């Protein structure tokens, strides 16, 4: 079967993680724009969630503080009337909002699923890592490759 290097696994995880982070409903991140389109209260939920992950120490990058400040500003500016939402965002039909929500959930689910598949291929379903130190494929790599080969081309 094909042998995929650890670097490719790391790049896959990093790319998925960065995109999932971008989907957080905070400030000017893509997730914040989606949240503002669907319902303004989702921005508040995003700020609470962002504050919780910082408080718990899940994200140690100082960039998160700037993103959170942007999220707080966006919530305050909307609540106090300093800033009005873009007309195209609030005038979206219910069907349009449903399409936006479905796309958001679909993209987030696909990214999370890809990360899970990547981890399963590297470590196996029980989390053991027989080939990580040596650079060899895990015993689950051949099964993973077989399943990927069966996927239809897009």
**HEC assignment per residue over 69-108:** HHHHHHHHHHHHCCCCCCHHHHCCCHHHHHHHHHHHHHHH
Which region among 36-40, 96-100, 117-121, 123-127 has the lowest average model confidence (pLDDT)? Answer: 123-127
What is the value of pTM for the model shown?
0.68
Residue 29: which of 76, 78, 63, 77 has the closest Cα? 63
Please write the tens of the pLDDT for every residue from 48-80.
988 898 888 877 788 888 888 888 888 888 888
Q: Is the pLDDT of residue 139 over 50?
A: yes
* Token reading at 137: 């494929």
**Higher-scoring residue by pLDDT: 74, 1:** 74
Gap between the Cα atoms of 68 and 73, Å rounded: 8
Collect all residues with Cβ–Cβ distance below 8 Å to 136 and sequence separation of at least 6: 130
Please report which residue ranges of the chain form alpha helices under DSSP H: 6-22, 30-38, 41-55, 63-80, 87-90, 94-123, 141-150
Return the number of other C-beta atoms located less than 10 Å from residue 126's C-beta.
7
Residue 26: which of 43, 6, 13, 11 has the closest Cα? 43
pLDDT averaged over every residue in the chain: 79
Residue 58: what pLDDT? 79
Rounded mean pLDDT of 108-121?
86
Confidence of residue 127 (pLDDT cuts 50, 70, 90): low
Q: How far apart are the two ends of the chain, measured CA to CA in Å?
A: 22
**Higher-scoring residue by pLDDT: 11, 147:** 11
Residue 132: what pLDDT? 47
Confidence of residue 131 (pLDDT cuts 50, 70, 90): very low
């Amino acid at each position: 079967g094909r042998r995929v290097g650890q670097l490719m696994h790391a790049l896959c995880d990093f790319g998925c993680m960065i995109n999932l982070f971008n989907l957080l409903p905070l400030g000017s991140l893509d997730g914040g724009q989606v949240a503002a389109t669907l319902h303004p209260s989702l921005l508040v939920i995003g700020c609470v969630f962002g504050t919780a992950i910082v408080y718990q120490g899940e994200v140690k990058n100082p960039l998160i503080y700037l993103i959170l400040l942007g999220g707080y500003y966006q919530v305050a500016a909307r609540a106090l009337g300093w800033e009005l939402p873009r007309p195209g965002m609030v005038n979206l039909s219910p069907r349009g909002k449903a399409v936006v929500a479905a796309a958001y959930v679909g993209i987030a689910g696909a990214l999370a699923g890809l990360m899970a598949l990547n981890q399963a291929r590297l470590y196996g379903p029980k989390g053991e890592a027989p080939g990580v130190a040596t650079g060899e494929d895990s015993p689950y790599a051949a099964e993973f490759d077989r399943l990927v080969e069966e996927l239809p081309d897009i």
